[in-house]
């Protein structure tokens, strides 16, 4: 998000054309300065029609010029975004494989991510299996209650009034 805001000063139209953060980071890394967009090959990143729109908008962009130092920092930020996105995908694949192997029924019912969070909240798969249904319901409701409690405490009326 910070990369899109920073590069948005130079090429604001890109944020509207490319919604995905990882694709946006790859496009920014490939293009560099918006003047290079015409010669950049974005076919591996974007569909043809969006690629054509990006190149067209780059020619008539209303953005300001940025320095080479800014571009170096933006490029480094794009590298971090791409690496973190790939790492997140690897972690999700690992979680999916582990949940399918350890708790296939729970995975089919709730999905990998929600099932893993429920096991984590219960403490272990064994304690989740031994817990009655009412406890499982409370495990899911506790998080919502705490979020609501924090929201209630942070309201202006409760903090200002005696």
Q: Give CA–CA dist 114/132, Å, rounded.
A: 18
Higher pLDDT, 97 or 114: 97
Least confident of 19-23, 91-95, 145-149: 145-149
Q: Are 9 and 66 in contact (CB under 8 A)?
A: yes
Task: Say what the pLDDT of residue 150 is.
Answer: 53
One-character DSSP codes across 83-109: HHHHHHHHHHHHHHHHHHHH-HHHHHH
Q: Which domains, and CATH codes, for the chain?
A: 1-103 (1.10.287.4070)
Per-residue pLDDT reduced to its tens digit, 58-109:
999 898 999 999 999 999 999 999 999 999 999 999 999 999 999 999 999 8
Whole-model pTM?
0.73
Give the DSSP letter of residue 65. Answer: P
């Amino acid at each position: 998000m910070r990369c899109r805001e920073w590069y948005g000063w130079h090429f604001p139209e890109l944020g509207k054309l490319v919604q995905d953060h990882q694709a946006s980071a790859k496009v920014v890394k490939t293009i560099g300065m918006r003047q290079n967009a015409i010669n950049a090959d974005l076919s591996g990143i974007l569909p043809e029609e969006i690629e054509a729109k990006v190149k067209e908008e780059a020619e008539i962009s209303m953005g300001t010029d940025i320095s080479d130092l800014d571009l170096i920092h933006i490029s480094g930020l794009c590298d971090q975004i791409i690496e973190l996105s790939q790492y997140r995908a690897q972690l999700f694949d690992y979680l999916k494989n582990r949940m399918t192997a350890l708790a296939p029924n729970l995975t089919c019912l709730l999905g990998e991510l929600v099932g893993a969070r429920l096991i984590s909240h219960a403490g272990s798969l064994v304690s989740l299996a031994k817990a009655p249904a009412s406890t499982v319901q409370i495990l899911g409701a506790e998080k919502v209650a705490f979020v609501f409690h924090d929201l209630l405490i942070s309201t202006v009326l409760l903090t200002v009034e005696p």
